[in-house]
Structure 1
Amino acid sequence: MKNFLYFIALLSGCCATAQYEIVYNLEKGKSYPQNQVVTSEQHQVINGMPQDITTIITTESDYVVTDIKDEIYYLDIVVKKMSTETKSPMGTEIISSDGPESNAMNTIFKNMIKEPIKMTMNKHGEILSFDNSAQIEGLTDDVEMPQMQLLQVEAALKKEMSIEKQTSNYEQLTTILPKDKVAIGDSWNQTITVNSIAAFEATSSFQLKEVNEESYIISSNAILKTPDDASTSLNGMKASYTLSGPSSGTYTIDKKTGWITTASLRQELEGDIIIEKSEMMPQEMKMTMKTETTTIIN
C-alpha cells in the first residue's frame, strides 16, 4: 500500500506542470540597456520600373528607473546614439548623431538625443504614459538648411515622432509578457500596432518555449494584413494600399528582471500601393512593394 501511494504521489509530481509568473522586476536607480539594429529591405516596382532600397537603423539606449510607485515604473529612456544608413540606386546616405556637423541631418539627430524620453509602465509592460516633448523641442537648433526645406524636414520628423506612433513602437517590445502565470508550451495573444506605410493593428501570438536557469525563451508569430479599403496620405496625395505577410520572433528574457537580453525578429509585408490621380498626380500610379525587416536586440 505504501509503495502504491508513493507511486501515485510520484506520478502526480511528474504530471504537475510548473507555472511561471513572467513580469518586470526592475530596481530603482538601475539602468537597463537595449541596443537595436533594424534592417529593412524594400523592393519596389513603380510603373514597371524596379527600385530597391535598404535602410539600417541603429540605436543604443539605456532605460533608467527613476522611481517605482504602486508597482508602476518611472523610466527615463536615454538614447545614447542613433544612426540611419540608406542604400538606394542614388547611392548611400548615412545620418548619425555623432557624425560631422557639416551634415545638417547629423545635427538634428544630435538634437534628438539631448533629452531623455519619459515613460511609465506597469509590471506587465503596458505603457501608461509617454512623453517625448523634450526630445522634440529644439529639434532644429543650430541646423543650417534652407528655411522651406527645414520646415518640411521638421514636419516629417514630428509626424514620425508623434506620441501615438512612438508609444505603439515601444509597446511592441514591452508588452510581450503574459498577464497570467504560464507553463512551458502555453500561449497568449497581444494586439500590436504595425507602423508601415500607415498604422494598422494585428494580433501576435506568443508562446513560452523554454525555461533555463537564467532565462525564459519566448517565441512570437503573427499574420499581418492591412484592413480592407485602407488608405493613407503620401506627400499630400491619397493612396490606397493592400499589404500582408508573416511576422515571427524569438526573445530571451532575464528571469530576475523580465528584461529582454536578446531578441531576433523578422517581419514581411507584400502588396500594392495605388496613388490616386490628383492635381499633383495627373495619372494613377501603382507601386508593387515587398518589404523584409529584421530586428536584432542585444
Structure 2
Amino acid sequence: MKKLVLVFALMAFSLVSFAQLRYNLEIGEKYGLKQLTIQDITQTVQGMTQNIKNTIGGDLLFTIKSKDGNVYTSDFVFASLIFKMESPMFSMGYDSNDSNQEENEMTKLFKSIVGYSFTMKFNDKGEILEVDGFEKLMEKVKAESGGQASGPIQESLKSQFSDESMKQSLASMLIVYPDGKPKTGLSWNTTIEQSGAMPLISKYNYKISSANSSVVEMEGAGTMATKEGFSQERMGMTQHFDLKGDVTMNAKINAKTGWPITIKQTQDLSGNVSIESAQLPAPMEMPMSIKGESTFSEF
C-alpha cells in the first residue's frame, strides 16, 4: 500500500512538472484583482528637498466573454478607484468610496472611469494584445462637458489612461508565462514597458521557487530605468529623465487557472532630471529618487 501511495504521489508531481502553466479561464466567469501602489518620491530643487507620496489603487473586475484559439476577450471595470498625491506644497486626490469629496474637473474624470466597461484581449500566456475603451471614454467626457474638459488635468490623465498606456500598465498585473514546464528552478526573462508621464522599462528574471497541483510560487529580480533619451515639454520647459535602479517581485499563482493569487513588486530608483528653459541661464539639475511598492491580490 505504501508503494502504491508513493506511485500516485510521483504521478501527481509529474503532472505538475510537465503541464505548461497557462491562463485557463472559464467563459462567463469573473476574476478580480485588487491593486495598491504606494510611491515615495524625493527630489531636490535648488538645494531644497521635496517629498511627494503617491497612492494609486482600485478593484478591477474581469469578465471573460469569449476565447478564440488561445486568445481571450474580456470586459473589465474599475469597481473602485483611489488616487492621491500628497506633498507639503499641495495635495490632490480621488476616492470612489468617499461620497463627500469635493467635485471638480479631476474628480469628474475619475468618477467617469469607475464602473465603465473596457475591453481587453490577451493570450493564454498572459501577453496583453489590445485594450480598448479609455480613449472613447475621454472623448465622451469631453463631449458631455461641451468640449471644455481639455485642461492640464485632463491632458495628464489622458497620458495615464490611454488605451496604449493601460495596456502597458495591465501588463504588470498578468505575468507572462514561459514555454517551459512549471517546475522548481525554471527561470525566464520578461521585459515590461510602461508609458505615461515618465516611461519606464523593467527587465525581470523570473524563477519558480515551488510548484504543486494548487499553487505555483515564483520570484523575480531585475532592473528598471527611464526610457533612454526620453524628454518632455511642460509649461515651456524641457525635462530630461535619467533614472534607474532595482526591482523585485514575489508571486503566488493558481496552478489550475493561472490567475494571480498575490503579487508583490518593489522598485528603488534614483537619478537625475535635467530641466532646460529659455528663462534659465543653464540647465537645472534635479536629483530624484523613487521608492515604491505594488501589491495585487485576487478577490
Instruction: Give TM class, smaller chain.
Output: 0.7 to 0.9
Instruction: Quote the offset at 1:91 in angstroms.
Output: 5.1
Distance, in Å, in 2 between the alignment partners of 1:236 and 1:59 is: 34
Aligned residue in 1 for 2:41:
42
Aligned residue in 2 for 1:94:
93
Structure 2 counterpart of 1:119, one-letter code: M
Other structure's SS at 1:157 match: helix
Distance, in Å, in 2 between the alignment partners of 1:125 and 1:235 is: 39
Gaps of 5+ in 1: 1-11
Instruction: Quote the offset at 1:150 in angstroms.
Output: 4.9
Distance, in Å, in 1 between the alignment partners of 2:230 and 2:102 is: 41
Instruction: Quote the offset at 1:30 in angstroms.
Output: 0.4
1:67-78 maps to which residues of 2 (within 5 A)? Answer: 67-78=66-77
Aligned residue in 2 for 1:289:
288
Check if 1:115 corresponds to 2:108.
no
Aligned residue in 1 for 2:7:
none
Structure 2 counterpart of 1:90, one-letter code: M
Instruction: Quote the offset at 1:228 in angstroms.
Output: 4.8
1:191-210 maps to which residues of 2 (within 5 A)? Answer: 191-195=191-195, 198-210=198-210
Structure 2 counterpart of 1:112, one-letter code: I
Decide which moves more: 188-197 or 210-219: 188-197
Aligned residue in 2 for 1:274:
274
Distance 1:228 1:131, change over 3 A: closer
Other structure's SS at 2:124 match: coil
Distance, in Å, in 1 between the alignment partners of 2:97 and 2:145 is: 15
Aligned residue in 1 for 2:132:
131
Other structure's SS at 1:180 match: coil
Distance, in Å, in 1 between the alignment partners of 2:90 and 2:227 is: 35
Instruction: Quote the offset at 1:163 in angstroms.
Output: 2.2
Distance, in Å, in 2 between the alignment partners of 1:235 and 1:181 is: 51
Instruction: Quote the offset at 1:18 in angstroms.
Output: 2.8
Task: Please give the TM-score of this superposition, normalised by the length of structure 2.
Answer: 0.85
Contact 1:73-1:123 within 8 A present in 2 as well:
yes
Structure 2 counterpart of 1:160, one-letter code: Q
Instruction: Quote the offset at 1:210 in angstroms.
Output: 1.0
Structure 2 counterpart of 1:24, one-letter code: Y
Structure 2 counterpart of 1:250, one-letter code: N
Check if 1:62 corresponds to 2:61.
yes
Structure 2 counterpart of 1:38, one-letter code: T
Instruction: Quote the offset at 1:225 in angstroms.
Output: 3.1
Contact 2:159-2:197 within 8 A present in 1 as well:
no
Identity of aligned residues (%): 24
Aligned residue in 1 for 2:3:
none
Distance, in Å, in 1 between the alignment partners of 2:87 and 2:188 is: 39
Distance 1:88 1:42, change over 3 A: same
1:192-271 maps to which residues of 2 (within 5 A)? Answer: 192-195=192-195, 198-226=198-226, 228-271=228-271
Query: Structure 1 segments of 4 or more deviating over 6 A?
Result: 141-144
Distance, in Å, in 2 between the alignment partners of 1:125 and 1:217 is: 16
Structure 2 counterpart of 1:117, one-letter code: F
Task: Please give the TM-score of this superposition, normalised by the length of structure 1.
Answer: 0.85
Q: How many residues align?
A: 283
Contact 1:192-1:203 within 8 A present in 2 as well:
yes
Contact 2:213-2:256 within 8 A present in 1 as well:
no
Distance, in Å, in 1 between the alignment partners of 2:53 and 2:255 is: 36
Q: CA RMSD in A?
A: 2.8
Structure 2 counterpart of 1:162, one-letter code: S
Instruction: Quote the offset at 1:229 in angstroms.
Output: 4.0
Check if 1:172 corresponds to 2:183.
no
Whichever of the two has the greater Rg, that structure is 1
Distance, in Å, in 2 between the alignment partners of 1:143 and 1:102 is: 18
Instruction: Quote the offset at 1:285 in angstroms.
Output: 2.0
Decide which moves more: 114-123 or 28-37: 114-123
Other structure's SS at 1:278 match: coil
Instruction: Quote the offset at 1:181 in angstroms.
Output: 2.1
